[in-house]
Structure 1
């Protein structure tokens, strides 16, 4: 594996055993601060922050600690999942060694649409079925989540959705989220959050099936 994988550097103050120090060669890295990705592990998916990436691996931040040796898959902007293994951890930071070298520049690029043009990059969306409550102008309604990201969510309801309506969305396990309805079709609507939820809290919520899939 040593000649195939490279990972994001561990913090300088973290000591590694001497026999591990040269296990993974350092290849040229592309530093990518705060890029959001999808982390698949332990039969579920959650959000992660990609700190840097090379052809052989990357450094990520997570909401809950990973364990050295964990098998994972990372999906960045391109939508392609890359398999890897946790090579080191430091609290909520982890170095991931890919199982094969990748074109890391392509991995970080937005996906290509049907027209051949790059699509706009957006936060990864996560399937969810939790119930939510939307309060708008003195009226409350019960919603069902369809999917959610750090920037907003898609919901469905038996009632209509007024476009551009501001409100407060309450999802069990997350703080109230001020939002605006951006689009509505039939019984579904897209809500945009005015302020993103805290990254760590959101990541841990995604890892809690009793909250995320409460209404399933």
Structure 2
């Protein structure tokens, strides 16, 4: 029978102690932005430790891919995807997460007097804002499951119920919460499902890439014609 080397036993015991002493926050359900494969998507962080985290994603990712996790009021975390199972992914952090940041990750939202902001995706899209029987053209600047910021060319009511109508996205009822110049902040009556929002954002990005490819192709054809 092969003898077990003492060094191997010590290494195994040391690894076990490290796993036991590593603090892990579970079921924290923090929304975050995930930058991967040159695109940004919303995700839900479900488990975090000093060396890694687990998240639910709603877009395409791959094992070995380099990612950045951004959570409002927190530092940006970088790492790589080490496993993918359905919509769940495991991410190994490039640098250990400080204990103070780990505790903030797991803190209950209701324990803080400051309302925690939801992550917003910056996006450029045109739509309509309907209020009081009138319709206003708007340009979306950013969006989250709970609300959006838009820019308008004409004056809109400072407060009151509205309906946001964006092509490709279900009509969303809400309230105008603030107005600053041509910009307005909207609070949705019901949160937009993450999968719906992510699919819409990806659709806009793909349409933009296709449009740029068509423009570049037309430019190349023009240059070829001139050369001939």
Would you say 1:161 and 2:170 are equivalent positions?
no
Question: Unaligned stretches of 5+ in structure 1?
Answer: 1-21, 111-116
**Matching residue within 105, 126, 147 for 1:131:** 126
**Matching residue within 32, 51, 55 for 1:56:** 51
Root-mean-square deviation (Å): 2.7
Q: Distance in 2 between matches of 1:196 and 1:28?
A: 32
Q: Distance in 2 between matches of 1:108 and 1:206?
A: 31
Does the C-alpha gap of structure 1 residues 150 and 35 become closer, same or farther in structure 2, counting only changes over 3 Å? same
- Asked whether the equivalents of residues 32 and 45 of structure 2 are also in contact (C-alpha less than 8 Å), the reply is yes
**Matching residue within 30, 38, 41 for 1:35:** 30
> Relative contact order, CA 8 A, sep 6+: which one is greater?
1
**Matching residue within 63, 88, 109 for 1:93:** 88
Could you state the TM-score of these two structures normalised by the residue count of structure 2?
0.73
Q: Distance in 1 between matches of 2:128 and 2:208?
A: 14
Counterparts of 1:1-216 in structure 2, within 5 Å, are 26=19, 27-103=22-98, 105-106=100-101, 109=104, 120-208=115-203, 209-210=205-206
Question: Unaligned stretches of 5+ in structure 2?
Answer: 1-14, 106-111, 213-228
Does the C-alpha gap of structure 1 residues 213 and 37 become closer, same or farther in structure 2, counting only changes over 3 Å? farther
Cα displacement (A) at 1:180: 0.9
Could you state the TM-score of these two structures normalised by the residue count of structure 1?
0.77
Q: Distance in 1 between matches of 2:35 and 2:170?
A: 25
Cα displacement (A) at 1:70: 1.1
Count residues with an aligned counterpart: 187
Cα displacement (A) at 1:99: 1.2
Structure possessing the higher radius of gyration over alpha carbons:
2
Greater share of helix residues, 1 or 2? Answer: 2
